Amino acid sequence: MKSNRAIYLLINILCFYVLPLCITNTSLAMVIMIFVIPGIIAITSFLYGYKSGKIDYIYSILTALLFIPVIVIYMNMTAWIYVIIYFVIVVCFNSLGKYIRKNKEEK
């Protein structure tokens, strides 16, 4: 099954640029930044790793880089740590998806 990186990146872009528009207070901002966005990128990364059957570091780097303009547009510079956190999440769940697919194919 062929996987299209652009579709998964588009979902992440929508997540990064649309969800911050919903932020009305600090509590909601923390929920979105700590739970919602990481949850969505974890799911898309897992699915991408599962469907592609590979660990794609370019996908991981692009996802992290696509978040940088969000910091400038919607947030302040203290949000830079999320670039690293989101990169780690993408690599971990992309690897998990690949691993599960590999184990499923071996059985």
Distance, CA of 69 to CA of 27 (rounded, Å): 22
Q: pTM for the complete prediction?
A: 0.89
Q: Is 12 helix (H, G, I), strand (E, B) or coil?
A: helix
Reported as a single tens digit per residue, the pLDDT across 28-72 is 999 999 999 999 999 999 999 999 988 999 999 999 999 999 999
Please answer whether residues 3 and 54 qualify as being in contact, where contact means their C-beta atoms are separated by less than 8 angstroms.
no
Question: Which band of pLDDT confidence, cut at 50, 70 and 90, is reported for residue 105?
Answer: confident
